[in-house]
Amino acid sequence: MKEHTTEDLRPHGLGKGQTLDQLNSRQKGRVVSVDSETFEAQSRLLTLGLYPGVSVEVLRRAPLGDPLQVRSGSTLLSIRLHEAQRIDVEVTS
C-alpha cells in the first residue's frame, strides 16, 4: 500500500504546482516561495517585494509573453518569464 505524503494532499495547482507565470491576466495570488538559481537573482526578487505571504496580481503580458506586468501592493513590476517561473503562488481569485 502506498504511503501518502503532504504533497499528495495538496489540491492541484497550489503550492509547488502553480507558479506566477501560470496565472492569467487579472488573476490574483499569494506568494508561497521564491526559488532562484543564484543568490543574486533571489535577492533581486526579494528586494522587489516578492517574498512569501505577499499578494500579487498579473496585470498583463507582453505580446510574446515576456515580460509580465505584476502588481504587488501598490508597486508595478515587470518580471521576466524565467523569473516568474521560480515564484510559487497560491491562487486567491
**At residue 6, does pLDDT exceed 50?**
no
- Looking at residue 21, which CATH number applies to its domain? 2.30.30.90
Tell me, letter by letter, the H, E, C secondary structure of the chain: CCCCCHHHHCCCCCHHHCEHHHCCCCCEEEEEEECCCCHHHHHHHHHCCCCCCCEEEEEEECCCCCCEEEEECCEEEEECHHHHCCEEEEECC
Q: What's the mean pLDDT in 44-69?
A: 91
Does residue 32 lie within any of the structural domains? yes
Does residue 49 lie within any of the structural domains? yes
- Domain hosting 15: range is 10-91
Give this prediction's pTM. Answer: 0.74
Does residue 14 lie within any of the structural domains? yes
Does residue 4 lie within any of the structural domains? no
Does residue 2 lie within any of the structural domains? no
Q: What domain count does the chain have? A: 1
pLDDT digits (tens, 9 = 90+) for 64-82: 889 999 999 889 999 999 9
Does residue 34 lie within any of the structural domains? yes
Does residue 5 lie within any of the structural domains? no
